[in-house]
Chains A and B, each alone.
Chain A
Amino acid sequence: SAVISQKPSRDICQRGTSLTIQCQVDSQVTMMFWYRQQPGQSLTLIATANQGSEATYESGFVIDKFPISRPNLTFSTLTVSNMSPEDSSIYLCSVGDRVDSPLHFGNGTRLTVT
Chain B
Amino acid sequence: AQSVTQLGSHVSVSEGALVLLRCNYSSSVPPYLFWYVQYPNQGLQLLLKYTSAATLVKGINGFEAEFKKSETSFHLTKPSAHMSDAAEYFCAVSDLGIQGAQKLVFGQGTRLTINP
Q: Which residue numbers of A lie inside 8 Å of B, CB to CB? A: 1, 4, 30-31, 33, 41-45, 48, 50, 56, 92, 94, 96-108, 110
Q: How far is the CA of A43 from the CA of B41 in the complex (A)?
A: 15
- The number of chain B residues with a CB under 8 A from chain A is 27
Asked whether B94 lies within 8 Å of A108 as measured between CB atoms, the reply is: no
* Contact digits for B90-116, partner A, Cβ 8 Å, 1 yes 0 no: 100010111111111011110000000
Q: How far is the CA of A30 from the CA of B101 in the complex (A)?
A: 9
Asked whether B101 lies within 8 Å of A97 as measured between CB atoms, the reply is: yes
Residues of A contacting B45 in the complex (Cβ-Cβ under 8 angstroms): 105
Residues of B contacting A94 in the complex (Cβ-Cβ under 8 angstroms): 44, 104
Q: How far is the CA of A107 from the CA of B44 in the complex (A)?
A: 7
Contact of A48 among B101, B106, B109 (CB under 8 A): B101
Contact of A103 among B96, B104, B108 (CB under 8 A): B104
Asked whether B101 lies within 8 Å of A41 as measured between CB atoms, the reply is: no
Nearest B residue to A32 via CB reads: B101
Residues of A contacting B100 in the complex (Cβ-Cβ under 8 angstroms): 99
Min distance, Cβ B4 to any Cβ of chain A, angstroms: 9
Residues of A contacting B103 in the complex (Cβ-Cβ under 8 angstroms): 33, 45, 48
Q: How far is the CA of A97 from the CA of B96 in the complex (A)?
A: 11
Given contacts A48-B103, A104-B46, A106-B43, contact A99 B108 (CB under 8 A): no
Q: How far is the CA of A102 from the CA of B94 in the complex (A)?
A: 9
